Structure 1
């Protein structure tokens, strides 16, 4: 990955952000647990300013929720929550790629090809950092398709329901065969778009999104069975 210049302050914020996110993924921080600035500052032996900025970013991405007068709390997703999000994504993003397949410009197709190549090259690595990088590239892949659909309304709807933890948690829990299947589906979505075939593209997109659901549900600590809390 290309290195970018950063100040010690931004480096500290990024380091804390990644550490907290990894702890949420691995269950170190429980669902509905409050994360306090002072406690995290002691844990990471760092000032509260980068902690505060990391927490703000995690709230904006859906990892944490800000509770008035109480602080930031780890979001707990129930099985019903996850099922609903995956089903909505499968419907909306299938529609998005159906539109994008006949509208995408050559430069956008080239970007998709680059993202697919990059994900495939990372998928053989077993480090959790590689999984996080794949999740970031995956988000860019889906966002490129969404933007190419040419529907600001559809884009707003998808962005309103897609939470970063849903995708990242799925990749974090994939076994080797699930990762290989995901890479194959990305490649097939790209091929369908290159062929200008909206029906093919939509069918693969729906399968791709729904196939991630079992991995998201799989955890050492099962998701709650109840509905919204």
Structure 2
């Protein structure tokens, strides 16, 4: 990994974790001082982040973390519904027992957290959910699909969506994970793709419900969201 790769990964993770919220600026000088790097790899990393849609270059100000509107999120869902069922379909014919066992352990841990619902449970579930989907992507064995989804899907921060779920929506998401495991275990690509599509459509419905609640509570407010599923 080059210095620019390292900076890219660090900044992207901080955007995902909320350390750099929408509208904030990523300062070259601060990053360089913190990581003890020259500005050359930092500028290269920022150019990649602009190209991938994580930040935008504001003249005379620097790199600003992108804000996402509700319309942006809906567009991302449309693309996910096209791409991710194909990931599940491919995984059904390629996944091995070790990969399936790991997905099952992740599903079990998410279910445990749902039952406990202690402090920080939702954030922990979201992190495990990211791992679940990443491992499913790896099982599909398609670098092209992976690159597309990394660019399209992860830019609007996915892990915060669970904070908007009702208990019923959360339980439904866990059930989808379980049914997907059964489809993968059976090697049934059509079934796996159907479950993934239902999973995404349910997540979209939850997001739209949350957005409608925000609009009703603050009809004069700026309607922005960066959450997916």
TM-score, with length taken from structure 1: 0.69
- Counterpart contact for 1:116–1:187, Cα < 8 Å: yes
Map 1:104-143 to 2 at 5 A.
104-126=95-117, 129-143=120-134
**Counterpart position of 1:45:** none
What RMSD in Å do the two structures reach over aligned CA positions?
3.7
Map 1:1-229 to 2 at 5 A.
21=18, 24=21, 31=22, 33-35=23-25, 49=34, 65-68=55-58, 69-126=60-117, 129-163=120-154, 165-217=156-208, 218-219=210-211, 220=214, 223=223
Task: Give the deviation of 1:183 after TM superposition.
Answer: 0.5
Structure 1 gaps of 5+ residues are 1-12, 25-30, 41-47, 51-55
Task: Give the deviation of 1:165 after TM superposition.
Answer: 4.1
**Counterpart position of 2:217:** none
Task: Give the deviation of 1:199 after TM superposition.
Answer: 0.8
Question: Judging changes above 3 Å, is the alpha-carbon distance between structure 1 residues 128 and 171 closer, same or farther for their aligned structure 2 residues?
Answer: farther
Task: Give the deviation of 1:87 after TM superposition.
Answer: 1.5
- Counterpart contact for 1:36–1:71, Cα < 8 Å: yes
- Counterpart contact for 1:100–1:193, Cα < 8 Å: yes
State the distance in 2 between where 1:63 and 1:120 align: 33
Q: Which piece of structure 1 moves more, 119-128 or 186-195?
A: 119-128
TM-score, with length taken from structure 2: 0.69
Structure 2 gaps of 5+ residues are 1-9, 36-44, 215-220
- Counterpart contact for 1:169–1:216, Cα < 8 Å: no
Aligned length: 194
